[in-house]
Amino acid sequence: MTIHPTAIVDPGAELADDVQVGPYAIIEGQVTIGAGCIIGPHAVIHSYTVLGEGCQVGVGTALGGVPQDRKFKGERSFLRIGNNNIFREYVTLHRATGEDQATIIGDDNFFMAYSHIGHNCRVGSHCMLSNCASVGGHSVIEDHVILGGLAAIHQFVTIGRLTIVGGLAGVTRDQPPFVVSEGRPARPRAINVIGLRRHGVASETIDALRKAFRLLYYSGLNIGDGLRRAENEVVQTPEVMQFLEFHHHRNEGSRGRRLQP
């Protein structure tokens, strides 16, 4: 273990034998840090944070701070982070509101400078948050999501798997899996063809997703009619079924309206 003499590490913190702690970093009590982690200068790891193995914490990053939530009354809650995550300069992640509740981060994510994850969020694995992207409380970011620079995700929003949210987007409602979303407010614009190819999704499935997308967003049909045609006319691969399932949930409160790309 390498701890710079200017760092402050509470005796109640549990650090693996090979953890590196940089100058002026602060690690509070009731923190667990796994093997191979590097804590950069001036970083702060707050109480009730669990950091998995192989994580890199950049300059000035603060992990596990109290939630920015008026409902929070000082109860014990957690930030639980998986393995091999990278947190660049001045990233902030907050622990949850609610007794024994947790903000949860998966594995192999890349959080660029000044990005933020709010309280009670769930972030999957292999995600990338570009500079200054912010995620409001109680939101869900599924696997392989990319958030562009300065994208703002409203609280209680879900971003589906393998979706890209463009820079400067303002996301106020759930976004389906496998799409490119952009705008203020953000809307699905197309299927994320490049991302799907990079992840080895078959061409037949990509073509089926594009056909389903056109039926739902460009045919002029309302959601219910578009779904019926997509179910009858599109090959039902697992990805297509997941895409349609999202829209079935959305259709429940749509009152027959049309989707807009």
Residues 71 and 177 in one domain: yes
Is residue 121 domain-shared with residue 217, that is, in the same domain? Answer: no
On whether both 136 and 212 belong to a single domain, the answer is no
Whichever domain contains 135, its CATH number is 2.160.10.10
Q: How far apart are the first and last CA of the chain?
A: 53
Residue 12's contacts (CB-CB under 8 Å, 6 or more residues apart) are 29, 30, 31
How far, in Å, CA of 23 to CA of 57, rounded? 13
Residues 31, 124: Cα–Cα separation, whole Å: 22
**Helix H segments across 218-237?**
223-233
Rounded average pLDDT over 154-165: 98
* Cα gap 31→42, rounded to integer Å: 17
| Structural domains of the chain, count | 2
As a whole number, mean pLDDT of residues 16-41 equals 98
Query: Which pLDDT belongs to residue 253?
Result: 64
Round to whole Å and give the CA distance between 129 and 106: 13
Residue 207 neighbours by CB distance under 10 Å: 14
- % of the chain exceeding 70 in pLDDT: 98
Domain that holds residue 233: 202-251
Conformational region of residue 74, where left means phi above 0, alpha means psi within -120 to 50, and beta covers everything else: left
Closest to 77 in 3D by CA, of 118, 36, 111, 112? 118
User: How would you write 41-97 as a 3-class SS string?
Assistant: CCCEECCCEEECCCCEECCCCEEEECCCCCCCCCCCCEEEECCCCEECCCCEEECCC
260 located within any domain: no
Q: Annotate 163-210 with DSSP letters as a single string.
A: -EE-TT-EE-S-B-TTEEEEETTEEEEEE-HHHHHHTT--HHHHHHHH
In the predicted model, what is the mean pLDDT of the chain?
96
pLDDT digits (tens, 9 = 90+) for 124-133: 999 999 999 9
Asked if the model's pLDDT at residue 180 lies above 70, the reply is: yes
Residues pairing with 135 in the sheet: 117, 153
Give the model confidence (pLDDT) of 89-104 as tens digits: 999 999 999 999 999 9
Question: pLDDT grade, residue 45 (50/70/90)?
Answer: very high
Q: Is residue 116 part of a domain?
A: yes
Q: Is the pLDDT of residue 255 over 60?
A: no
Task: Please say if the pLDDT value at position 252 is more than 80.
Answer: no
Predicted pLDDT of residue 259: 80
The helix (run of H) or strand (run of E) holding residue 241 is: helix 238-251
Same domain flag for 55 and 176? yes
pLDDT over 90 percentage in the chain: 95
- The CATH code of the domain that includes 216 is 1.20.1180.10
Class of residue 155 by CB neighbours under 10 A (exposed 0-12, middle 13-18, buried 19+): middle
Q: Within this chain, do residues 6 and 129 fall inside the same structural domain, yes or no?
A: yes
pLDDT at 256 over 70: no
Examine the domain organization and report whether 211 and 173 are in the same domain: no
How high is the pLDDT of residue 23? 98
